[in-house]
Amino acid sequence: MINEEIERKFLVSNTEFLKEYQGVQLIQGYLTTDPCRTVRVRIQENGGYLTIKGPSTDDGLKRLEWEKEISISEAEALLELCLPMPIHKIRYKIPIGTHFFEVDLFQKENAGLIIAEIELNSELDEFDAPEWLGEEVTGNNKYYNSYISKNPFSTW
Active site residues per annotation: 30
Residue type, 146: S
Angstrom distances, CA of residue 30 to CA of 27, 102, 136: 11, 20, 25
Going by their DSSP bridges, the two strands 47-53 and 38-44 should be labelled as antiparallel
Q: Tell me, what DSSP letter sits at residue 127? A: -
List phi, psi (to 5°) of 119. Answer: -95, 135
